[in-house]
Amino acid sequence: MGSVSKLVYILCIIYFQKETNGLTCFSCLGITHPRFCKHVDNCHSGEMCGLEKVVYPSGETTFNVGCFQSKTCYDNSTQSTVHETCRHCCSTNMCNDNGCGERGLTLSRGPICYHCDGALSINECKTISVCEQNQFCYIEELFSIGERFYTTNCQYKNVCDAVSGGMPIIGKKRSSIRSHLRSSACSRCCSDDLCNMECWKSNLSATTTTRTTKTTTTTKTTVQATTSTETTSMVTTSLKGDPLECSDINFVDEGVYTIYPKGDSRSKRVYCMILNGKKWTVIQRRYDGSVDFGRTWNEYKEGFGIVYTEYWLGNENIHSITKNGRHRVHIVLEQKNGTISYADYSIFYVGDESTKYLLNVTNYHGTAGDCLDSGHIDGRANEMKFSTTGQDNDMSSSDCAAQRKSGWWYSNCEHCDLNGKYGSYGPRWYLDLLGLVKSSIMMITKV
């Protein structure tokens, strides 16, 4: 191969690697300020770090931050009868902690580091911490029963010195740290943002170059009775135009994708699944109570949470999807003893805001019991309006949403409530499962 051909070949490799690798951006929905976001996401090629500020007529302000397609990015404010919206985009890693007149993270801080305990793969860690000025990013690799585990967090200099064999540590603390480190395969400290992605046996590096690498996100999702599937986030490819839901996307592996439920420039990150040969859009997921579901009417309207963990897609988005042809809903429930049950309804539709997001859900079959279309009016969610704190639309003399710290299609505070306060009132599936369950997934697909 000639020198010119070699040069072209090398340049092509560099170009395509750059095109494949996306930005790493803060990614949270419905937060009170972008600097409170403790989660990051790896964008697809061509996407930018974006911030959306929404101000409602009541004065309530919420922020959505994440990966935006470039065509949705603009520095502009639009006023409507519903709310005022501003969007701001930028093109460097984690730059979407500010914008639309808001200040971001303080400059007097340490590095931003991945922060996960016992992750099976470092690529599945998307939670972060902002370290103090005298802290560093730390990663430790451990082996247990033939599997690798990774712990990442912020650590002080004495732990990093123990890793590097540097400054002596006095007393028992030194011996306990070194004893702990001897059990690890490798451990490392570094000082740049998100530098604790790889585990090397190296000393503290003050000049480590942060790598912007498009990582593969692995999530374990339990489906039906005994199925456990490892899933991977892939690039969104629509069957025809912008995808309104997951069934409009060409994908083979389950994971996080971008959809446009309203058919306009407003994108949503959503978890897409494949079950029984069909592609499903996950509209609700809970499993550990890490996300507070005691939200306002507007938050339930727009959606909130973290798409990789617990979230609610948003009533307006659910309405927009379900009005696009006939849809069914499949609900997977895990009990505390690990038993998996499901409820499937072949008709599922949510009305618009003028109907208070009235629910139409019928034709049950499954193993969990018919909790949504129960024959008992006190427990029936079907044909009920949605209620949240401040929007009491149930049939009860009490305020079910305020009592359960939830948003749901209440009739009389009984039977079903998958959004109730975790561990106290939810997730609740009262019939065959007799009360609270450990986890829940609600997913919809076009029939």
pLDDT, one tens digit per residue, over 365-387 is 999 889 899 777 667 899 999 99
Question: Which stretch of DSSP H or E encloses residue 66?
Answer: strand 61-69
Question: Which stretch of DSSP H or E encloses residue 50?
Answer: strand 47-55
- C-alpha to C-alpha distance for 341 and 226, rounded to whole angstroms: 10
Amino acid 82: pLDDT: 53
Q: Which residue, among 105, 87, 85, has the nearest Cα to 97 in the 3D structure? A: 105
What are the pLDDT digits (tens) for 46-55? 889 999 898 8
Say yes or no to pLDDT of 237 above 60: no
Average pLDDT over residues 65-73: 82
Higher pLDDT: 163 or 281? It is: 281
Amino acid 228: pLDDT: 32
Distance from first CA to last CA of the chain, Å, rounded? 55
Asked if 112 and 128 count as a contact pair (C-beta separation under 8 A), the reply is: yes
Query: In the chain, pLDDT over 90 holds for what percent of residues?
Result: 33
Amino acid 273: pLDDT: 93
Give the pLDDT band (50/70/90) at residue 276: confident
- C-alpha to C-alpha distance for 446 and 73, rounded to whole angstroms: 30
Give the pLDDT band (50/70/90) at residue 202: very low
- C-alpha to C-alpha distance for 2 and 19, rounded to whole angstroms: 26
Q: Which residue, among 53, 83, 84, 46, has the nearest Cα to 68 in the 3D structure? A: 46
Average pLDDT over residues 19-40: 82
Say yes or no to pLDDT of 101 above 80: yes
Residue 74 CB contacts under 8 Å (≥ 6 apart), including other chains: 87, 89
- C-alpha to C-alpha distance for 396 and 368, rounded to whole angstroms: 25
